[in-house]
Amino acid sequence: MAPERIPNALSIAGSDPSGGAGVQADLKAFSALGAYGMCALTALTAQNTTGVRGVSGVDPAFLRDQIDAVFDDVRVDAVKIGMVGSAASVQVVAECLERHRPGVVIVDPVMVAKSGDRLIDDAAVAALRDRLLPLASLVTPNLPETAVLLGEEDVPATVEAMEAAGMRLLGIGARAALVKGGHLAGDAVTDMLCEPTGARAYGSERVPTRNTHGTGCTLSSAIAALAPASATMADAVDAGRRYLVMTLRAADRLSVGHGHGPVHHFADLWANDPAQRWLGAERPLQSTD
């Protein structure tokens, strides 16, 4: 019997040194869901759970080198794109996707950090809309990002408006759109998946925690990790949302920072105290010290 093929997933995004968002969150989600994670950095950030102190973009030519280095050597089953930062970098990413043609592309249009800090300029927004949306298997904007992508002032304020906005995203080039409703008030959270065949709502109870840093990164990367083995994008979205809810419910078990802390990507895998498993394990190999 042939061994099960482990999917390879590439994150193209910025770095979060505090570990809760960006490529760090993506790699954690990939690993937790059984995918081999890789990354190409678009930017370095100086940030923590309380806010962003600075952003330094990676030279677009070097971004291209990173992406090509991965594709030239490794089978890439899925790509997740997060913060890109500049129009020039968006152009590079789009050109690489057109050249290498990965089967799954999830675009999370990261524009604003949880703290409210802006992470992307207007020219990059326009390039993302015009160049990346048509290449995406799925785009996953929150409500403010949805309005920005559509060039509209009014942010969707109801589930019905979310569905209508998602369909308009299809009209400007997206193949599928998951409009995330976490900004709406209430004890429940509804996300709306819009595809050419119709729309589907996903609902879940709102998890009472302030530790929500990196939720968008985590959901989009979870979908990317799961999509290669999913029969439909709707199945990958459903499973990715259930994983995110699990990480949120366990977020308060972590003690990271003084602001919006991260979700717990490995909550189910760490349930049996893996440190003690290894510290208490028999040692058949002799130390080389």
Closest CA to 179 of 171, 164, 204: 164
Residue 22, token pair as written in the block = 């960006």
Q: Which residue of the set 146, 217, 240, 247 is catalytic?
A: 217
Look up 80 and say whether it is catalytic. no
How far is Cα 88 from Cα 12, in angstroms, rounded to an integer?
Answer: 14
Residue 53, token pair as written in the block = 């102190």
Interacting residues of 64 by C-beta distance below 8 A, sequence separation 6+: 92, 95, 96
Strands (E), the chain: 8-15, 36-48, 51-57, 78-81, 105-107, 138-139, 177-180, 188-195, 198-205
3-state DSSP call for residue 174? coil
Look up 212 and say whether it is catalytic. yes
Q: Which residue of the set 49, 190, 212, 247 is catalytic?
A: 212
Start-to-end Cα distance in the chain: 40
How far is Cα 265 from Cα 32, in angstroms, rounded to an integer?
Answer: 7
- How many Cα atoms are found within 13 Å in the side-chain-facing hemisphere of 142? 16
Closest CA to 149 of 113, 115, 114, 112: 112
Q: Which residue of the set 14, 85, 214, 261 is catalytic?
A: 214
Q: Which residue of the set 14, 37, 181, 216 is catalytic?
A: 216
Q: Which residue of the set 22, 180, 190, 247 is catalytic?
A: 180
What's the 3-state SS for 137-157?
CEECCEHHHHHHHHCCCCCCC
188-213: burial string, b at 16+ Cβ within 10 Å, e else: ebbbbbbbeeebeebeeeebeeebbb
Look up 28 and say whether it is catalytic. no
Q: Which residue of the set 45, 140, 215, 247 is catalytic?
A: 215
Look up 216 and say whether it is catalytic. yes
Look up 180 and say whether it is catalytic. yes
Look up 261 and say whether it is catalytic. no
Q: Which residues are catalytic?
A: 180, 212, 214-217
